[in-house]
Amino acid sequence: MTNFIIKYYRQIIIICILLGLGFAALIPFSKTDPEIRNYVPSTMESRILTDKIETEFGMQDIVMVIFRDSSILTSANLNLIKQIDRDISRLSGVSNRVSPFTVRTITSTEGMMTADPLIMQIPSDPEEFAVLKDEILQNRFARDIVISSDMTSVSITATINQAEPEKATIQKIDSIISSHAGKAEVLTGGLPYIRQHIMKDVNRDALILVPIALFLMLIVLKLNLKDWRSVLMPFSVVLFSTAICTGMIPLLGWKMSIISLLVPVILIAVANNYGIYLVTRFQEIKQRKDEAAPGNMLKELTGSLNMPILFSGLTTIAGILGLLAHSIIPARQVGILAATGVTAALIMSLLYIPSMIYAQKGRLRAKKQPVRQNFIFKTWLDKLSSVIVKHPGRIIIGFVSVTVIFAFGITFLGIETNQENYFPKKNPVRMASDLINSKFGGSQTVSVMIEGDIKEPEIMNGIDRLTQRLETMDGVGNVFSISQAVREMSKAIYTESENMYDRIPETRDGIAQMFELYNMSGDPDDFSQMMNLDNTRAHVLVRMSNPDNKTINDVKSEISSCIKGIPAQITVGGYAVIMTDFASSIIKGQVFSLVFAMLTVFILLALIFRSFRGGLIGTIPLAVSIVILFGFMGFSGIAIDAATALLSSIMIGVGVDFTIQYIWCFNSQIVKGLSYQEAVRSSMRIIGRSIVINGLTVMAGFSVLIFSGFASIRFFGYLVIVSISSCLLGAIILVPALIMKFRPRFVIEDMSKPKFKKHEKDDVSSGIPGV
């Protein structure tokens, strides 16, 4: 390979630069997808069923405008709400609006059913406001739906349609709100607003976090490599590989998401590792052989590092490719993009950096580390290696004890798919969502579609039983169904002393007559979200005040139980149902990707070390780190979500590099004739510092995530520090302790040469002191 680099170094440099610039030119064409339902395959049953319901009753993604004041029932507040409600009603992108001025009160006047607006005229004196308050509390379609029971909040709820882009409709609603000033505080929420904030924050994070990460990495490289020429070589590899994987997103027709936001940060944190090893090693060679020909120094560089770097890169790629086992679409995309980026970084490190070194004719300056800095590192590492040599058994027991403790924490681990919780608690979207959930029944929904002759008493009573049962469940905010409307009509026609008061009529004709009476003064479209015009499909809409996975699964189970007696075809869907399936996908994907990554890395390590035990010892620190990671998440209350579910595969891919570097170095010392004790001390001095610096560099690169606008991405940043720290400690403490305790044979055979043939094999251990 060295001769190839010397012959074609100019072409290699030009090709790498052109590749980086070419893919960088594609980055501005990237688009953002804020829709979480697109994270799951379109073939998933819950998505298919939800699409079927929405084809009939429209999308159930609601926008809510919330007005809050200590006393919301004032003339000024109601006038403000009326003006904003009127302006929103004129938007082409809004349909099925519900507000205090659209809700009707069903009453009986002189024996006739009437359906009049709840607020026909804004009250002007305290007595009229007192009457209005009583009417609100008695109206099941107003109380805690458009006006809270404590009279502190009012909501305008509207369904976004496809008449114009969602973003344009949201901007128009915001413009309407800003054009009307009033005393009441105005908050906006609902899934469309959450999606728009996700889009804005993804773009913000990309514009802020990536430059910060690059700047931080530049500083880290300068502190470690000193010479700017030495710094710019691995840094340019970081730039090129990051540009390649990020530019692939629009090239493949994919979109940026909360999850794919991690891709450039992963590359920035990881892609410089191989370059650091090469440049640091060349500086050492330069110090020893300053007068040697550049070609000779290059041969020594590539000969000593190409194999361990190649193996480290392959295992990192294998670990990251574990994400392909996920059923979450962006997770698989991250696996492909990150693996491609690491592959590019590996190839460029092995070709581009040696080409740049040769192009400069070895004119890199090799600055020595300050004596005090070297002394501190050497002293600390020497003490650590002495402890490992003297007490390997105790170290192993200590790691086992810590692992068992953290394994207990896994029992507290939860799953999070609620988009609202992606935002910090003080974020306006999160505050609006909390208010909607506590005052107005929530914005996330479960939908039940009943197909049949809806006016048949058996079906209508079945809908009514389902409605009443769901209304009593914890975590359910509001339930809307056509049976509620029929019962309200019966209350307008009959007196409380009559049997049919607040009941479903016993005949189909009786139910049909109810609607005929209502239509005399009301609008048939008032029930368009509950029943279609030909009375063949009904819609039960359940709004979740607590949209966690357990509550939604409980609701699904209750629906399944209640619909058994309804003689109709039942379809259950809705955004909340998709999210529970999303949670199941996260769990399955986590398990499959973890098993795939561990198994693949184990096989690669066994091949690299040419030993089953080698593969086992190499994966033990990773297994320990995984248990510590999930245990820490359980103890700290950090749930597995769309972002944190990726961490284990990434950790395996990055963390295995430390183990390979240590074992490879230990093997080189053993082959030189050192004893196990001497090899542990020598390896710690030679490679320990590089491993620690590499680990700190990776953690520094990922640490920028703690400044993200998303809580889950911030947690990812914190968890990287925990996971990479445990991998680092496992590589420089647990691995040498295992080698000292069990003395596996694979570490004494020269890994840099082909394995001995049987007829050539001698007693390898005979020439090794201490064996």
Output the pLDDT for position 678. Answer: 92
Neighbours of 318 (CB within 10 A): 23
Residue 328 DSSP SS3: coil
Q: Sign of the C-alpha dihedral, residues 653, 659, 660, 662?
A: positive
Q: Distance between CA 154 and CA 68 in Å, rounded?
A: 7
CB contact at 8 A, 605 and 315: yes
- Averaged over 277-291, what is the pLDDT? 72
CB contact at 8 A, 366 and 701: no
Q: Which of 233, 256, 275, 243 is nearest to 341 (CA)?
A: 243
Confidence of residue 442 (pLDDT cuts 50, 70, 90): confident
User: Distances from the Cα of 170 to the Cαs of 145, 194, 372, in angstroms?
Assistant: 21, 11, 60
CB contact at 8 A, 330 and 643: no
Query: What is the number of helices (H) and of strands (E) in the chain?
Result: 25, 10
Q: Which of 489, 538, 487, 488 is nearest to 517 (CA)?
A: 489
Domains of the chain: 1-30+198-368 (1.20.1640.10), 62-189 (3.30.70), 369-412+609-771 (1.20.1640.10), 434-482+489-511+518-579 (3.30.70.100)
Q: Which of 8, 586, 705 is nearest to 326 (CA)?
A: 586
Residue 505 pLDDT more than 60?
Answer: yes
Q: Distance between CA 538 and CA 68 in Å, rounded?
A: 34
CB contact at 8 A, 695 and 620: no
pLDDT digits (tens, 9 = 90+) for 35-82: 877 888 888 899 999 999 988 887 767 888 999 999 899 999 999 999
Q: Which of 258, 264, 446, 279 is nearest to 348 (CA)?
A: 279
Confidence of residue 455 (pLDDT cuts 50, 70, 90): very high
Residue 493 pLDDT more than 90?
Answer: no
Output the pLDDT for position 757. Answer: 46
Output the pLDDT for position 28. Answer: 92
Helix/strand/coil percent split, the chain, to 5: 65, 10, 25
pLDDT digits (tens, 9 = 90+) for 326-371: 888 888 999 999 999 999 999 998 899 888 888 886 555 555 555 4
User: Distances from the Cα of 508 to the Cαs of 517, 526, 535, in angstroms?
Assistant: 14, 21, 12
Q: Distance between CA 307 and CA 751 in Å, rounded?
A: 10
Residue 596 pLDDT more than 50?
Answer: yes
Sequential DSSP letters for 583-606: HHHHHHHHHHHHHHHHHHHHHHHH
Go through 436-458 and write b for each residue having 16 or more CB atoms within 10 A of its CB, e for each that does not.
bbebbbbbbbbbbbbebebbbbe
Output the pLDDT for position 291. Answer: 60
Residue 286 pLDDT more than 80?
Answer: no
Output the pLDDT for position 768. Answer: 36
The strand pairing partners of 477, in sequence order, are none
Output the pLDDT for position 310. Answer: 84
Output the pLDDT for position 304. Answer: 66
- Averaged over 203-215, what is the pLDDT? 90
How large is the angle between the packed helices 191-225 and 166-178, nearest 10 degrees? 100
- Averaged over 293-322, what is the pLDDT? 79
Catalogue the E-assigned strands of 504-652.
537-544, 569-573
Residue 381 DSSP SS3: helix
What is the distance of C-alpha 11 from the center of its chain? Answer: 40
Query: Residue 674: what residue type?
Result: L
- Averaged over 505-524, what is the pLDDT? 87
User: Distances from the Cα of 466 to the Cαs of 234, 293, 373, 469, 549, in angstroms?
Assistant: 64, 85, 72, 5, 20
Residue 755 DSSP SS3: coil
Q: What share of the chain in percent tops pLDDT 90?
A: 41
Q: What share of the chain in percent tops pLDDT 70?
A: 93
pLDDT digits (tens, 9 = 90+) for 98-135: 899 998 888 877 667 888 888 988 998 899 999 999 99
Residue 449 DSSP SS3: strand
Q: 204-208, 370-374, 743-747 — which is least confidently predicted?
A: 370-374
pLDDT digits (tens, 9 = 90+) for 739-753: 999 999 888 887 766
Please provide the average confidence, as pLDDT, over all residues in the chain: 86
- Averaged over 150-165, what is the pLDDT? 88
- Averaged over 610-631, what is the pLDDT? 93
Compute the C-alpha angle 62/531/470, nearest 5°.
65
Q: List the structure tokens of 767.
A: 């020439």
Which segment, 151-165, 407-421, 721-735, is predicted with the most confidence on average?
721-735
Compute the C-alpha angle 377/379/382, nearest 5°.
105
Q: Distance between CA 642 and CA 636 in Å, rounded?
A: 18
Residue 64 DSSP SS3: strand
Provide the edge-to-edge strand list for the sheet that holds 444-451: 476-480, 537-544, 444-451, 569-573
Bigger pLDDT: 648 vs 336: 336
**What is this structure's pTM?**
0.80
User: Distances from the Cα of 465 to the Cαs of 441, 552, 558, 573, in angstroms?
Assistant: 20, 19, 11, 19
Residue 113 DSSP SS3: strand
What is the β-pairing status of strands 444-451 and 537-544?
antiparallel
Q: 441-445, 509-513, 559-563 — which is least confidently predicted?
A: 441-445
337: exposed, middle or buried (Cβ count in 10 Å: 0-12, 13-18, 19+): buried
Output the pLDDT for position 756. Answer: 46
Give start and end residues of each alpha helix (H) in 166-293.
Answer: 166-178, 191-225, 228-251, 262-270, 273-288
Output the pLDDT for position 60. Answer: 66
Give start and end residues of each alpha helix (H) in 360-391.
Answer: 371-390
- Averaged over 469-485, what is the pLDDT? 92
Output the pLDDT for position 759. Answer: 42
Q: Which of 243, 266, 278, 273 is nearest to 351 (CA)?
A: 278
Residue 292 DSSP SS3: coil
11: exposed, middle or buried (Cβ count in 10 Å: 0-12, 13-18, 19+): exposed
CB contact at 8 A, 417 and 544: no
CB contact at 8 A, 640 and 661: no
CB contact at 8 A, 306 and 751: no
Query: Which distant-in-sequence residues (6+ apart) come within 8 Å of 599 by Cβ?
Result: none
